[in-house]
Chains A and B, each alone.
Chain A
Amino acid sequence: MNGEVIFFVLFSLGAIIGAVFVLVFRKAVYALLSAVLTFVSMSGLYILLTAEFVAGVQLLIYSGAITILMLFAIMLTKQKTGTTRKRMIRFQWPVIIPIVLLMIIIFYGIHKVTPPRKPVSYGKNNTEQIGELIFTQYMIPFEMISVLLLAALIGAIILAKKENT
């Protein structure tokens, strides 16, 4: 058992436990903090896969920006102490059946596949390679992202702006 496996187990446990706690916690802020645990563990998993750039993006966007956004969203809501999700509980347990079924179906598929052992060059210049790909091969989607961000920005302003009237 080498260090890679230990850290893989640690990070994946962190990711799963965080995700489960998001569902379990009744308080929205706690749920959000456990989502951060998931995000951070996932960036750890990316580092194990030597995808350093993606790990950095994960940390910056998810555990940084998105978390802050959601925190603001929680703070925006009118607090009602004692609001729990009691009404949901009745419907919660039967959901497990399809989830387990889905897990079995997917696990059956993954379990049988032996991934091709290709020699993969572990990227030292991960970010540089991504940059080259984005700006040559994938430049059309890249420019589309700018339109997407613009549309999102306009939409955010329309929907969230407080009207004087």
Chain B
Amino acid sequence: MDFSYEWHVMTPEFSILMTIILIGILDVLLPKKIDRKWFGWLAVGGTFLSFGLFLTLLPLDRTSILFDTFIFDSFAKGFKFILLFGGTLLLLLAVGSKKEQGMEKYEMEFYVLLLTALFGGMMITSSNDLITLFIGLELVSVSSYVLVGMNKWSKKTNRAALTFLMNGSLATAITLFGMSYLYGIAGTTQLQTFLQHFSEVSNPATRYLYIIGFCFLFIGLSFKWTTMPFSLWAPDVYEGAQTIVTAFLSAFSKIIGLIMFFRLIFTVFSETVLDQHVMFSIFQNSLLILALLSMTFGNMMAIGQRNVKRLLAYSSIAHGGYMLAGIASFSAHSMEAVTYYFLVYSLITIGAFTIVSYITDGNEADEQTFTGLFKTTPLLAISLTIFFISLAGLPPTAGFIGKWKLLISIIDGGSPIHYVTAIGMIGMTIVSYAYYFRIMASMYFQYPNKEEKFSVRLPLVILLFLCIAVTFLIGLLPNFGTPTWI
């Protein structure tokens, strides 16, 4: 066995791993008295290093290690960029925001788990093998279970963690069941071989089983990206978890689930001419219907919410629906549109949750807290407005361009159900204005309940600045977000 592969394409992952080990060892070795706040900066440094190494790798062509268990292709480049960017922002948010009562003890664990999730996500983006995909997914899941339940002193958090764990393990079981079908038919875990096998299958019964396998896989994975069959956990968990963790779930773990599904779909369906096949179109149509349902459900439920975290949870279900529709359209533009939307979505979600975590400061994220925010802290009010406008998909922000691209890619699908989905998406976007504008109106036109100024912390300012700048930059120059290497 020869092991002289091009290992250097894994250096971004290695540097994340090294940071995990370094933080862990430092925590074990250092005496108890020393403050561990700077671990966060160490973690940020690790992601910066990883980002730098990643940038040096960009000129490479498709590189594969060990029978495609790790590949570095344009897909990996695009999504790794998004993940590293989002991960850095999340770490900045974690460094900047105030920890909840009793959490100071678990400084190291918090960052290690966040980095582990980032590591898992990065492995998912560049793996072409079911086993690596699954273990990457488990890395993300296990760390998010723990992150959600970390604040174990709060009853609400405990309930959220239990809900999350129960739903999550059920979803994992279903995913694995689907994978076992796929493996059982194809006899391989490599997606490339899989693709060949899939295009050669002539027996309709085998294809039927394939579709069953994919359906199970899809249902299990939909837990991660909170669309229709597995979305009901989201509001409770988002509400119960700490706001940083909510941002992580909504912007990061969601994207990772979608990336995994996209990788599978992208590899297995891209080169096969299956559009004529009945089972395939049933599969595609049911995906679109589920996307449509999630949009409707998420937006309709969000209108009645008074808790901002719950509201954002339902809005996140709706956004999951938009992205799923983009993926399920399987058109020529879907890759570009979905990549763009992932980037925009993770940016603005992290931005919005930053402000929520800032204002609520560990308390209940009730809408009352936001009334008259413009009068007390105009900076935060304006930033939140920008993020909400972007989430609602209005110009001149990146959210508008993102939705525009998704719409075009959906319409490009060309069948009646695609048109219905596109119309539904426009309608639901208009519905979503109702709740975004309600909060904005109460921020600007009402008087605050209590005169309380929010002091501004440095990491959060950097974070907000980054989010807003990129939102406008890629909103005004849409092609800036899709460089040539994607």
Query: Are A and B close enough to touch in the complex, i.e. CB under 8 Å?
Result: yes
Asked if A151 contacts B149 (CB within 8 A), the reply is: no
Q: How many angstroms between the C-alpha atoms of A165 and B105 in the bound complex?
A: 11
Asked if A140 contacts B142 (CB within 8 A), the reply is: no
Complex partner residue of A154 from B66, B112, B129, CB under 8 angstroms: B112
Is A83 interfacial (CB-CB < 8 Å)? Answer: no
Asked if A137 contacts B139 (CB within 8 A), the reply is: no
Asked if B20 contacts A147 (CB within 8 A), the reply is: yes
Complex partner residue of B209 from A109, A140, A152, CB under 8 angstroms: A109
Asked if A155 contacts B143 (CB within 8 A), the reply is: yes
Is B102 interfacial (CB-CB < 8 Å)? Answer: yes
Is B268 interfacial (CB-CB < 8 Å)? Answer: no
Within A101-128, the residues touching B (CB, 8 Å) are: 105-106, 108-110, 112-113
Asked if B113 contacts A144 (CB within 8 A), the reply is: no
Chain B residues whose CB sits within 8 angstroms of the CB of A139 once the complex forms = 66, 69
How far is the CB of B224 from the nearest CB of chain A, in Å?
16
Asked if B146 contacts A158 (CB within 8 A), the reply is: yes
Is A75 interfacial (CB-CB < 8 Å)? Answer: no
Is B57 interfacial (CB-CB < 8 Å)? Answer: no
Q: How many angstroms between the C-alpha atoms of A145 and B119 in the bound complex?
A: 12
How far is the CB of A154 from the nearest CB of chain B, in Å?
5
How far is the CB of B126 from the nearest CB of chain A, in Å?
10
Q: What string of 1s and 0s marks CB contacts (under 8 Å) between A129-165 and chain B?
A: 0000000111111001101101110110011000101
Chain A residues whose CB sits within 8 angstroms of the CB of B120 once the complex forms = 144, 147-148
Asked if A137 contacts B66 (CB within 8 A), the reply is: yes
Please indicate which of the listed interface residues A139, A150, A155, A165 has the most CB atoms of chain B within 10 Å of its own CB: A155
Is B476 interfacial (CB-CB < 8 Å)? Answer: no
Is B417 interfacial (CB-CB < 8 Å)? Answer: no
Chain B residue nearest to A154 (CB atoms) is B109
A141/B142 contact (C-beta < 8 A), A105-B212, A113-B206, A147-B17 known: no
Is B397 interfacial (CB-CB < 8 Å)? Answer: no
Chain B residue nearest to A108 (CB atoms) is B208
Q: How many angstroms between the C-alpha atoms of A109 and B213 in the bound complex?
A: 11
Stretch at the interface among B130-138, B320-328, B364-372, B458-466: B130-138
Number of A-B residue pairs with CB-CB distance less than 8 Å in the complex they form: 88
Asked if A140 contacts B66 (CB within 8 A), the reply is: yes
Is B65 interfacial (CB-CB < 8 Å)? Answer: yes
Chain B residues whose CB sits within 8 angstroms of the CB of A154 once the complex forms = 109, 112-113, 146
Asked if A148 contacts B138 (CB within 8 A), the reply is: yes
Chain A residues whose CB sits within 8 angstroms of the CB of B38 once the complex forms = none
Chain A: how many interface residues by the 8 Å CB criterion?
26
Complex partner residue of A112 from B116, B145, B208, CB under 8 angstroms: B208
Asked if A148 contacts B205 (CB within 8 A), the reply is: no
Q: How many angstroms between the C-alpha atoms of A43 and B120 in the bound complex?
A: 30
Q: How many angstroms between the C-alpha atoms of A155 and B185 in the bound complex?
A: 36
Within B74-129, the residues touching A (CB, 8 Å) are: 102, 106, 109, 112-113, 116, 119-120, 123, 127, 129
Is B1 interfacial (CB-CB < 8 Å)? Answer: yes
A151/B143 contact (C-beta < 8 A), A137-B66, A137-B67 known: yes
Asked if B146 contacts A155 (CB within 8 A), the reply is: yes
Asked if A136 contacts B1 (CB within 8 A), the reply is: yes
Chain A residue nearest to B213 (CB atoms) is A109
How far is the CB of B123 from the nearest CB of chain A, in Å?
6
Is B56 interfacial (CB-CB < 8 Å)? Answer: no
Chain A residues whose CB sits within 8 angstroms of the CB of B65 once the complex forms = 140
Q: How many angstroms between the C-alpha atoms of A150 and B139 in the bound complex?
A: 10
Asked if B205 contacts A113 (CB within 8 A), the reply is: yes
Chain A residue nearest to B150 (CB atoms) is A158
Chain A residues whose CB sits within 8 angstroms of the CB of B161 once the complex forms = 159
A151/B66 contact (C-beta < 8 A), A106-B212, A136-B1, A163-B102 known: no
Q: How many angstroms between the C-alpha atoms of A113 and B184 in the bound complex?
A: 12
Extra contacts, 15 of them, besides A141-B132, A165-B102 (Cβ < 8 A), are A109-B205, A113-B185, A113-B209, A136-B1, A139-B69, A141-B131, A145-B135, A147-B139, A148-B120, A148-B135, A148-B139, A151-B116, A151-B143, A155-B142, A159-B146
9 A–B contacts from the bound complex (CB under 8 Å)? A112-B208, A113-B203, A140-B70, A147-B119, A150-B24, A151-B113, A151-B116, A158-B106, A158-B152
